[in-house]
Amino acid sequence: MSHSNWSGCCCLQCIPEKEVGIVEDLGACQFKRLIGEGPSCICWPLQSVAGRLSLRVQQLDVRCETKTKDNVFVQVAVAVQYRVVTESAYDAWYRLTSPASQIQAYVFDVVRSTIPRMELDQAFESKDDIAQAVLDQLQRVMKDYGYSIVNTLVTDMSPDLKVKQSMNEINAAKRLKEAASHQAESEKIKQVKAAEAEAEARYLSGLGVARQRKAIMQGLQQSVSEFSGEVDGATPKDVMDILLLSQYFDTLSSVGANSLILEHDPATVAQLHSQISAGFMSSIKEKLVKSVEEKSDLLA
């Protein structure tokens, strides 16, 4: 806005583009009329152009310090974009001396009455709400003075440096906690999967051993049956003795191949056979005793 008098020549006055001229009577210094952009004629020296108002959109940057609900002081930067309404240029020129000071005062009033009701995190999340509150207040007030508020923006909100550092440390600690939790969960999953794999391996190993033993028993049974059938006078006991002796010699071969020393006694096979027979007989005896006791209980 410019309030300087026009220094043109006599009756012909030229107003630059996007401006409006204020014409006054020279003697009474009273408002006469408005003249638009371009050349205009006035009744000089009875009239003169007292000043010009820019119709362009202007911006006023306002910084305001205030306190949040949780007692944190913040610097709030608000950008106000405004312009003169052409039809209300009279009010803009005569009713308001300093529009920038007026706008700044209302920005201070709105910011300092809005942010103290919010905590710091909420204030950062509500920047659009703060800007809208400033816009509504300024539009309602500045309209009477011939100014239109185009837009208001909260361009910055800066707490104290120590508060910033504390917020960064809190955020870093929170993320470290989440990372530790995810890492622990990952380790848990690894251990559970390893335990499941080990259990499955042992199960499959047990199945393999059981199948191996079953195959061995089936092979022994088949060998005993075939040998007894083809050799006259051979009993199953004779066949089992031969098989035990064969297994014993295979064991000695395996031990020798691994550079191990094992005491050998020819009576070992007979002792082994006696132990296996005694074990079978003991098991059969226990089963018979148990069966007799169960039948006695039923008869009683």
* CATH number (domain holding residue 155): 3.30.479.30
pLDDT of 187-230, one tens digit each?
A: 889 898 888 888 888 888 888 878 877 777 777 667 767 666 66
Nearest to 42 by CA among 50, 145, 246: 50
Higher pLDDT among residues 35 and 260, named by residue: 35
The stretch 182-191 carries a mean pLDDT of 88
Query: Do 62 and 117 fall into the same domain?
Result: yes
Residue 89, in any domain of the structure: yes
Is 197 a domain residue?
Answer: no
pLDDT of residue 19: 74
Phi, psi of 262 (to 5 degrees): -130, 125
Helix 268-299 and helix 236-257: axis angle, to 10°? 130
Cα-Cα-Cα-Cα dihedral of 19, 22, 26, 31, to 10°? 180
Torsion from C-alpha of 266, 271, 277, 282, nearest 10 degrees: -170
Of 81, 33, 86, the C-alpha closest to 55 is 86
Asked if the structure places residue 203 within a domain, the reply is no
The CA distance from 206 to 247, in Å, is: 22
Lowest model confidence (mean pLDDT) among 16-20, 97-101, 157-161, 211-215: 16-20
Partnered with residue 41 across adjacent β-strands are 12
Both 261 and 292 in one domain: the answer is yes
- With residue 241 as reference, give the H or E element that holds it: helix 236-257
What CA–CA distance (Å, rounded) separates 168 from 162?
10
For residues 44 and 73, state if they share a domain: no
Of 2-6, 24-28, 36-40, 176-180, which has the strongest mean pLDDT? 176-180
What DSSP character marks residue 9?
Answer: B
Q: What is the pLDDT of residues 172-181, one digit of tens each?
A: 788 888 888 8
Among left, alpha and beta (phi > 0; psi -120 to 50; other), residue 122 is alpha
Q: Nearest 5 degrees, angle CA 121-CA 122-CA 123?
A: 90
- Are residues 39 and 77 located together in one domain of the fold? no
Would you say the C-alpha torsion 97, 98, 104, 108 has a positive or negative sign? negative
- In this prediction, residue 178 carries a pLDDT of 83
Contact 86, 56 (CB under 8 A): no
Low-confidence winner among 21-35, 89-103, 141-155, 255-269 (lowest mean pLDDT)? 255-269
In a domain, 110, yes or no: yes
For position 255, what pLDDT does the model report?
61
Reported as a pLDDT band with limits 50, 70 and 90, residue 33 is: low
Quote the distance between the C-alpha of residue 166 and its chain's center.
20
- Higher pLDDT pick, 217 / 91: 91
Q: Are 52 and 24 in contact (CB under 8 A)?
A: no
Smallest Cα–Cα separation from 85: which of 33, 136, 147, 15? 147
pTM of the complete model: 0.50
Domain that holds residue 256: 233-299
User: How many residues are there in the chain?
Assistant: 300
> Looking at 164, 180, 198, which one is the last position of a domain?
164
Average predicted confidence (pLDDT) for the chain: 75
Total domains in the chain come to: 3
Helical (H) or strand (E) element with 32: strand 31-35
Tell me whether residue 210 is in a domain: no
Kindly report the number of other CB atoms within 10 A of residue 116's CB atom. 13
Specify which residues 12 forms β-bridges with.
9, 41
In a shared domain, residues 295 and 280 = yes
149, with CB counted inside 10 A (0-12, 13-18, 19+), is buried
